[in-house]
Amino acid sequence: MAFEGLAERLQGTLTKIRGKGKVSEQDVKEMMREVRLALLEADVNFKVVKQFIANVREKALGQDVMKSLTPGQQVIKVVNEELTSLMGGEQSKIAVNNKPPTVVMMVGLQGAGKTTTSAKLANHLRKKHNRKPMLVAADIYRPAAIKQLETLGKQLSMPVFSLGDQVSPVEIAKQAIEEAKKEHYDYVLIDTAGRLHVDEQLMNELQQIKEIAKPDEVLLVVDAMTGQDAVNVAESFNEQLDLTGVVLTKLDGDTRGGAAISVKAVTNTPIKFAGMGEKIDQLEPFHPERMASRILGMGDVLTLIEKAQANVDEEKAKELEKKMRTMDITFDDFLDQLSQVRNMGPLDELLNMMPGMNKMKGMKDLKVDEKQIGHIEAIVRSMTPKEKQDPSIMNASRKRRIANGSGTSIQEVNRLLKQFEEMKKMMKQMSNMTSGKGKKKGKG
Ligand code: GDP
The model's pLDDT over 193-236, given as tens digits with 9 standing for 90+, comes to 988 888 899 999 999 999 999 999 999 999 988 878 888 899 99
Q: What is the C-alpha to C-alpha distance for residues 191 and 199, in angstroms, rounded to an integer?
A: 18
User: Among 178-182, 278-282, 328-332, 361-365, which is the least confidently predicted range?
Assistant: 361-365
Is 195 a pocket residue for ligand 1 (Cβ < 6 Å)?
no
- Distance (angstroms) between ligand 1 centre and the Cα of 188 equals 20
Q: Which of 155, 246, 278, 282 maximizes ligand 1 atoms within 8 Å of its Cβ, making it the mutation to test the pocket? A: 278
Is 194 a pocket residue for ligand 1 (Cβ < 6 Å)?
yes
Rounded mean pLDDT, 268-275: 94
CA atoms within a 13 Å half-sphere pointing along the CA-CB vector of 167: 16
pLDDT of res. 29 = 87
User: What is the bridge-based pairing of β-strands 271-275 and 283-285?
Assistant: antiparallel
Q: Is the dihedral of CA 163, 168, 172, 174 positive or negative?
A: negative
Is 114 a pocket residue for ligand 1 (Cβ < 6 Å)?
yes
**Which residue would you say has higher pLDDT here, 4 or 173?**
173
Q: What is the C-alpha to C-alpha distance for residues 285 and 259, in angstroms, rounded to an integer?
A: 18
- Distance (angstroms) between ligand 1 centre and the Cα of 275 equals 9
pLDDT of res. 437 = 42
Phi-psi category of residue 108: left, alpha or beta, with phi > 0 → left and psi -120 to 50 → alpha: left
pLDDT at 188 > cutoff 70? yes
E-strand stretches of 28-117: 102-107
pLDDT at 269 > cutoff 60? yes
Which atom in ligand 1 lies closest to the alpha carbon of residue 142? 2
Q: Cite the residue boundaries of each domain of the chain with CATH code 1.20.120.140.
A: 4-86
ipTM exceeding cut-off 0.95 for this assembly: yes
Q: What is the C-alpha to C-alpha distance for residues 265 and 257, in angstroms, rounded to an integer?
A: 14
Best mean pLDDT range from 77-91, 207-221, 372-386: 207-221
Which residue's CA lies nearest to atom 13 of ligand 1? 113
Average pLDDT score over the chain: 83
Is 252 a pocket residue for ligand 1 (Cβ < 6 Å)?
yes
pLDDT at 28 > cutoff 70? yes
- Distance (angstroms) between ligand 1 centre and the Cα of 277 equals 8
Annotated binding residues for GTP: 108-115, 191-195, 249-252
Is this model's pTM higher than 0.80 or not?
A: no
pLDDT in tens, 384-421: 989 988 888 999 999 999 999 999 999 999 988 988 88
Q: Which of 147, 222, 249 maximizes ligand 1 atoms within 8 Å of its Cβ, making it the mutation to test the pocket? A: 249
Task: For the chain, give percent helix, strand, coil, nearest 5.
Answer: 60, 10, 30
pLDDT of res. 234 = 92
Q: Cite the residue boundaries of each domain of the chain with CATH code 1.10.260.30.
A: 305-436
pLDDT at 315 > cutoff 80? no
Q: Cite the residue boundaries of each domain of the chain with CATH code 3.40.50.300.
A: 102-288
Is 192 a pocket residue for ligand 1 (Cβ < 6 Å)?
no
Rounded mean pLDDT, 250-277: 85
pLDDT at 258 > cutoff 70? yes
What homologous superfamily is domain 305-436 in, according to CATH? Signal recognition particle, SRP54 subunit, M-domain (1.10.260.30)
- Domain 102-288 fold: Rossmann fold (3.40.50)
Cα separations in angstroms, 49 against 79, 258, 387:
12, 10, 60
**Which residue would you say has higher pLDDT here, 277 or 367?**
277
**Which residue would you say has higher pLDDT here, 333 or 183?**
183
Give percent of the chain with pLDDT exceeding 70.
80
What architecture (CATH level 2) is domain 4-86? Answer: Up-down Bundle (1.20)
pLDDT of res. 150 = 96
pLDDT of res. 171 = 96
pLDDT of res. 42 = 85
pLDDT at 436 > cutoff 50? no
Is 249 a pocket residue for ligand 1 (Cβ < 6 Å)?
yes
- Confidence at 124, pLDDT banded by 50, 70, 90: very high
